[in-house]
Structure 1
Amino acid sequence: MKPATVTKTALLLIDIQEAFRHPTFWGTSRSTPSFESNVAKLLQAVRKYNAAHQQQPIAIFHVHHHSEGLSSPLNPLNQLPGTSIYGASPQSCAMPVEGEPVITKHVNSALIGTGLEAQLRSFGAQQLIVSGLTTDHCVSTTVRMMANLKILAEPHDDNGIILLRDATATWARGEFDPETVHAVSLASLNEEFASVYETSDVIKAVIETL
């Protein structure tokens, strides 16, 4: 990890949408209970940094999934059961503000059929922080593709991709509980496609450095 003051850094927030608050569609148990609070802390820290470092800001990209499946909670036309909340809308902990691009995707990877790769290359990103849902699906697919495509402008021994252990989350898969799925997914990515860290460590090392 390098301080954002000397390394052009981007933050990628993947699929942090209301659909994942559906009470049963994804399952009834999820990993990472502190996910939402860590996302909120991360985004607050980055925005505070950007206010103080307008010459070297951290670029914030929100990725939202719009499913083409008619019954999916992530279909932009569908509301969550018993509510007026559309599943494709962002969660409050990751609500975009003016000036923060929102990338819409229709498949697992945030790089397929979107302009994200071009935007990251145009920005000249040398380091990338990744948070979002779900660890084993859209987060994993996107991280793997970004590493393989060598999107970052500066070579790194660790690909320059920082993946947040406690600001990513997933659900149970088959006979495997969500914490196991989450841990194995991160272990499969760590030290090959990305480097896995805790949110607090990244905030201190990358964002809050003097």
Structure 2
Amino acid sequence: MSQALSPIALIILDVQDAIDRPNWNAKNNPGYLGVIQRLLAFWRSKGWPVLHIKHDEQAPSSSYYAHGPWNAIKREVAPLAGEPVIVKQQNCAFIGTQLHATLTQMRVKRFVLAGVVIHNSMDATVRAGKALGYNIVLPSDATTAVPVVGADGKSWDAQTVYELTLAILGDEYADVVSAEELIDQLA
């Protein structure tokens, strides 16, 4: 199967109840979840591959703690029967998981990545995916960021982190477009 004809998968990364805990309240782009829901509905209507990545953190202090009350995938984007759920324990969805093998088995060479947060798990997954030879699309409005504080105490607000990370990833690692542009291109 040629790359031009290979299916394009939608990967939803770390969209779990944990992102609604108070420590994540300063995130930008509050409409990101609705955008992911729209992408998900579009993908399902086309019968295209959808994969869900679930973060199971081993540290009990983490919002994403594997055995904690906030670990579930958000019901708004919950997987349907037949949609793979790949569990990860690192920030990168390719490390220690079956993501690459699953995509290879599905003959997927291109994927759209939506989820949280752009400067952590999304960034790590995009960079690893690019190194593995995937063509990646990042819908800019289907993700979010939180403020970052450096070791020296300097801080950056969520919007600045979001814009800078998308600019860096869009320069070399992924095609950055809005979800609307993406749907228009694929419709």
Q: TM-score, normalised by structure 1?
A: 0.82
| Counterpart contact for 1:172–1:178, Cα < 8 Å | yes
How do 1:55-70 and structure 2 match up within 5 A?
Answer: 58-70=48-60
For 1:129 and 1:46, how far apart are their aligned partners in 2? 10
Q: What is the rounded CA distance, in whole Å, between the counterparts of 1:110 and 1:126 in structure 2?
A: 16
- The counterpart of 1:176, out of the listed 156, 164, 177, is 156
Shift of 1:163: 0.5
1:7 Cα shift? Answer: 4.0
User: Which string of whole-angstrom CA distances, capped at 9 and with x for unpartnered residues, describes residues 6-48 of structure 1?
Assistant: 442111110000001001x23x311112101101111011111
Q: State the structure with bigger RCO (CA 8 A, min sep 6), 1 or 2.
A: 1
How far is the alpha carbon of 1:203 from its aligned partner? 1.2
CA distance in structure 1 between the partners assigned to 2:80 and 2:121 by the alignment: 23
2:185 partner amino acid: A
Which residue number in structure 1 is paired with residue 40 of structure 2? Answer: 43
Whole-Å separation in 2 of the counterparts to 1:165 and 1:22? 23
Give 5+ residue unaligned stretches, structure 1. 51-57, 80-86, 153-159
Aligned length, in residue pairs: 180
- Give the corresponding residue for 1:84: none
Contact persistence 1:130–1:162 (CA under 8 A) = yes
2:85 is equivalent to residue 105 of structure 1: no
Alignment partner of 1:30 is 2:27 = yes
Answer whether contact 1:39 1:93 (CA < 8 A) is retained: no
The alignment yields a C-alpha RMSD, in angstroms, of 1.5
- Tell me which protein shows more helix as a share of its residues: 2
- C-alpha separation in 2, matches of 1:203 and 1:98: 24
Unpaired segments ≥5 residues, structure 2? 150-154
Q: Which digits, 9 at most, give the CA deviation of each residue in 1:171-207, with x for residues without a partner?
A: 111221111100101111003110101011111212x
Q: What SS class does the counterpart of residue 140 from structure 2 fall into?
A: strand
Could you list the per-position Cα deviations for residues 148-182 of structure 1 after superposition, in whole angstroms to 9, with x for gaps in the alignment?
Answer: 121x3xxxxxxx21011000111111221111100
* Contact preservation (8 Å) 2:8, 2:112: yes
Matches of 1:7 and 1:146, distance apart in 2: 16
**Percent of pairs identical after alignment?**
28
Q: TM-score if structure 2 supplies the norm length?
A: 0.92
Does the CA contact (< 8 Å) of 2:148 and 2:161 recur in 1? yes
Report the equivalent of 1:16.
15
Displacement over 4 Å in runs of 4+: none
CA offset at residue 123 of structure 1?
1.2
The 5 A counterparts of 1:71-150 are 71-79=61-69, 87-150=70-133
